[in-house]
Structure 1
Amino acid sequence: MVKEIIQKGFIRLTPQKTVGFSLKEMETRKKSVAVVVDENDYLLGIVVKADLFRFLREPGHYEDYPVELAMTKSVITVKPDDDILKAAKMLRENNISAIPVIDDENKVVGIIGLEDIVDYCIQKNSLT
């Protein structure tokens, strides 16, 4: 189950946070992905460092722009009780590196990435 590998120490951003703030937060916390949520933790979007760098390369885009202009709004998600293999397939099929985990109310409760799945597989196979 996804809940076995969920990462709860993920970066939460509000849509008004700037692109510059978001990049600094990712760098400081050594993360490459952040979820964008409202004040009640409802998922609004997701952003990865590569999205932010692509955004900044566009003429007229600046670090003080809100992150909501650079985020992906159509987000693929999983639930805590979903199968890890299902999550892995979703990551590969959609060529993404991380996926938010949402509860039944669509609130973000965590995130999982390819590294988490690989670590889980290594740990599981080293116990046998």
Structure 2
Amino acid sequence: MGIKSFTGKRAKVQRNVSENIKVSDYMTRNLITFKPEQSIMEVMEVLVKKGISGGPVVNDNNELVGIISEGDCLKELSDARYHNHPMEDVKVELHMIKNVDTIDGEMNVLDAANKFLESKHRRFPILENGKLVGQISQSDVLRAAMELKGHTW
């Protein structure tokens, strides 16, 4: 009597679903942006009204030139109070972060989670051909993880 093999047909090896999830799938494309020549007071009003903690600063060609945050505004508020000078004429370009870290929209969204942990940033702008096309936040990455639950990481 011969040996019988009970090995069934081999299934194709499937890649993890998470390998195909890109930053561009979860980034926000409809952004609130600021201009370098705007006043800090205008920025503070928008941040409070829209319930956001900061946003990208772009020039007239939609090229990223900086990031302005609540913290940047608070610092100016504190300085203005200390030095007793008005804030109406204080421009964004004087207080924005100019050296901005960005990430690639093609990056895996779970790799982006590591970038957030390494950098302590709350948001990363995404550029294509030098133009601002979106932004991904920590909450966008969490949303992606929730949609992936049950899948192999």
TM-score, normalising length: structure 2: 0.76
Identity level (%): 25
Q: CA deviation at 1:85?
A: 2.6
Q: Which of 101, 110, 134 pairs up with 1:110?
A: 134
Q: Is 1:23–2:44 an aligned residue pair?
A: yes
Residue identity matched to 1:113: S
For the pair shown, the structure with the greater C-alpha radius of gyration is 2
Change (3 A) 1:42 1:124: same
Residue equivalent to 1:7: 28
Q: CA deviation at 1:86?
A: 2.9
Q: Is 1:97–2:118 an aligned residue pair?
A: no
Q: Is 1:56–2:68 an aligned residue pair?
A: no
Q: Is 1:65–2:82 an aligned residue pair?
A: no
Q: How many residues align?
A: 127
Counterpart contact for 1:36–1:45, Cα < 8 Å: yes
Equivalent position SS for 1:72: coil
Counterpart contact for 2:126–2:134, Cα < 8 Å: yes
Counterpart contact for 1:56–1:63, Cα < 8 Å: no
Q: CA deviation at 1:61?
A: 6.6
Alignment gaps of 5+ in structure 2: 1-21
What is the rounded CA distance, in whole Å, between the counterparts of 1:24 and 1:75 in structure 2? 23
TM-score, normalising length: structure 1: 0.90
Counterpart contact for 1:14–1:38, Cα < 8 Å: yes
| Superposition RMSD in Å | 1.7
What is the rounded CA distance, in whole Å, between the counterparts of 1:90 and 1:55 in structure 2? 28
Alignment gaps of 5+ in structure 1: none
